[in-house]
Amino acid sequence: MIRLNRLSMHYALGSTRIDILRDVDLHIRAGERVAIAGPSGTGKTSLLLLLAGLERPASGSVVFDGRSLDGLDRDQLADLRRDHLGIVFQSFHLVPSLTALDNAALPLEIAGRRDARERARAMLDKVGLGARLDHYPGQLSGGEQQRVAIARALVHEPKLVLADEPTGNLDGRTGADIGELLLNLNAETSTTLVLVTHDMSFAARCDRLLRLSGGRLSEGNAAPETGDAQPA
């Protein structure tokens, strides 16, 4: 479903170069649940941005369902995201002026689907927010906002869901519930899930744990992480 072929990426800040990935190869199969962990600042978010076609690699390629992202222009990448990708962020990123229902319906509205609100309502029901349809994000708790964000990410039945520390802004109990919800929905729909997390009990429930460090990805186990990256 996703292949990374000799993927390299760096950021240039003035004369300083920050290497994020060095010649990384990876194959994620359809339906797999993959957790990515690693010290702070090693590039986990950047890797998700590459998978979403929101960053371009310096060299190598990201291949999504047999299609290389290199050859796609901005509009084609936006179409690909609209049709096949759902993204969940640590800080929810809901539109504050839209209700829970309208936030969740957004991907389908953008795609011009006439059943957008109906499907969004069913999805919000599924994430346990059937009684909060008309609430605005500011009237919802953190856990509830993340449920809306998950409904929005899944409402158009994407092939791939990317989640960047989806439980990172939530207290322990709420975070565990949200993690559970994401994994259960994923199992139900057989969607491919790639998530970044520092929570090793959450990571341990995925099919694979990958650790990113020093520009390399390695298969790992869910032992506690050690320390943060040293500044360059």
Ligand X SMILES: Nc1ncnc2c1ncn2[C@@H]1O[C@H](COP(=O)(O)OP(=O)(O)OP(=O)(O)O)[C@@H](O)[C@H]1O
Query: Please, what is the minimum distance in Å from the beta carbon of residue 78 to ligand X?
Result: 19
Facing residues of 64 across strands? 2, 67
Can you state the percent helix, strand and coil of the chain, rounding each to 5? 35, 25, 40
**Angstrom distance (rounded) from CA 226 to CA 232:** 18
215 forms part of the interface with ligand X (CB under 6 A): no
167 forms part of the interface with ligand X (CB under 6 A): no
Number of residues that bind ligand X (CB under 6 A): 12
Q: 17, 30, 40, 59: which one contacts ligand X (CB under 6 A)?
A: 40
44 forms part of the interface with ligand X (CB under 6 A): yes
The span of 33-41, 122-130, 145-153, 184-192 binding ligand X (CB under 6 A) equals 33-41
CA distances from residue 31 to 25, 185, 192, 194 in whole angstroms, order as listed: 19, 12, 4, 10
For the window 1-20, what string marks contact with ligand X as x by the rule CB under 6 A?
----------x-x----x-x
CA distances from residue 60 to 17, 25, 26, 65, 134 in whole angstroms, order as listed: 18, 9, 12, 16, 45
* Antiparallel, parallel or unpaired: β 59-64 and 67-68: antiparallel
Query: Please, what is the minimum distance in Å from the beta carbon of residue 120 to ligand X?
Result: 29
Q: Which of residues 98-117 bind ligand X (CB under 6 A)?
A: none
Query: Please, what is the minimum distance in Å from the beta carbon of residue 67 to ligand X?
Result: 24
| Contact assessment for residue 229 and residue 42, using Cβ atoms and an 8 Å cutoff | yes
Q: 8, 45, 61, 213: which one contacts ligand X (CB under 6 A)?
A: 45
Residue located via tokens 């222009």: 73
Q: 7, 21, 26, 46: which one contacts ligand X (CB under 6 A)?
A: 46
